[in-house]
Amino acid sequence: MATIQNKPTPTAPSTTTGGGLRAMDLYEKLEKVGEGTYGKVYKAREKATGRIVALKKTRLPEDDEGVPPTALREVSLLRMLSQDPHVVRLLDLKQGVNKEGQTILYLVFEYMDTDLKKFIRGYRANHEKIPAQTVKILMYQLCKGVGFVHGRGVLHRDLKPHNLLMDRKTMALKIADLGLSRAITVPVKKYTHEILTLWYRAPEVLLGATHYSTPVDIWSVGCIFAELVTNQPLFPGDSELQQLLHIFKLLGTPNEEMWPGVGKLPNWHVYPQWKPTKLSTLVPGLDSDGYDLLEKMLAYEPGKRVSAKKALEHPYFNDVNKEVY
């Protein structure tokens, strides 16, 4: 018996079984467009409506792992967060079976035609800089989305250009891939330190702090901000130690005076004593308000890092048309 297709509504994504129809019978795969934290992503057309969507596919092998925590968290957190215009919308969730009889979960998302990584790479390939006003409106939307996510008690923990989807025409930016996210509303003993792609990982995480919070995402936002200005990643380390040394070389080695308690973090050692380089040298091309905001995002002490909400009030964004974004 075929199941009647429920039309998804923005406020309440349905969670349906495909019934007699294989979930993929409802969609025509157009092309593979990438991989998320835990699954392949396809551009697809919904046959009933012609709407273009993104399908994220995760196979559930028998017995051992069940539903990956990444998938389980992404779905549940997106159900709560998708109402925000700066978080990617989860339209539907379908359980199906593949040809080998394995259970598959399909997450159906609104389709966005590019991501910030591709956007930046396009400018780099042309040896051009992203226009200053474009940087500003992208950063404004990012801070707004992160502020919303944090306001709901969620850490993203994997903010990076690849996970920020964009629409080239409208310059809309949306936060995606919440596979490594977690709620911070239920107190737990410790969080893993194996989160955040290395280049965007906050120093307190690299130093082994197991109780971190929203400032880890703000550090990532600061790294993205710098990358939008220069087209190059700010701290491209290739191991945890190299990542830490890279940060210290550029921003100066932290001490107890600027970051009280740093010496007690588990991975703290004696490090070479580098002096900080001016941000205007590291990230040429910003105005003074931009440097002030960037500095506040890259403060060593997590408690002194600007919050996303406060960042939105910073003078750097004064000339953004806040009605539009």
Residues annotated within a binding site for ATP: 56
Q: Do the Cβ atoms of 146 and 159 come closer than 8 Å?
A: yes
> Which residue from 156, 182, 201, 314 is in contact with other proteins, where contact means CB under 8 A?
182
Burial of 1 (0-12, 13-18, 19+ CB in 10 A): exposed
Q: Is 17 in the site for other proteins (CB under 8 A)?
A: yes
Q: Is 266 in the site for other proteins (CB under 8 A)?
A: no
Contact map string, positions 56 to 75, toward other proteins, x by CB under 8 A: ----x-xxxxxx-x--xx-x
Nearer to other proteins by C-beta: 134 or 213?
Answer: 213
Q: Quickly tell me which residue has 């990532």 as its tokens.
A: 220
Q: Which is catalytic among the residues 92, 158, 177, 217?
A: 158
Q: Is 3 in the site for other proteins (CB under 8 A)?
A: yes
Q: Is 83 in the site for other proteins (CB under 8 A)?
A: no
Cα radius of gyration (the chain): 21
Site residues (CB under 8 A) for other proteins, limited to 194-223: 211, 213-214
Contact map string, positions 221 to 260, toward other proteins, x by CB under 8 A: ----------------------------------------
Q: Quickly tell me which residue has 């196979």 as its tokens.
A: 59
The strand ranges marked E within the chain are: 14-17, 27-35, 40-46, 52-60, 90-97, 103-110, 114-115, 154-155, 164-167, 172-175, 182-183
Give how far Cα 270 sits from Cα of 145, 238, 253, 264, Å. 38, 20, 10, 12
Asked if 25 is an active-site residue, the reply is: no
In whole angstroms, the minimum distance from the beta carbon of 190 to other proteins comes to: 7
Q: Is 187 in the site for other proteins (CB under 8 A)?
A: yes
Q: Do the Cβ atoms of 64 and 55 come closer than 8 Å?
A: no
Q: Is 31 in the site for other proteins (CB under 8 A)?
A: no
Q: Is 11 in the site for other proteins (CB under 8 A)?
A: no
- Annotated catalytic residues are 158
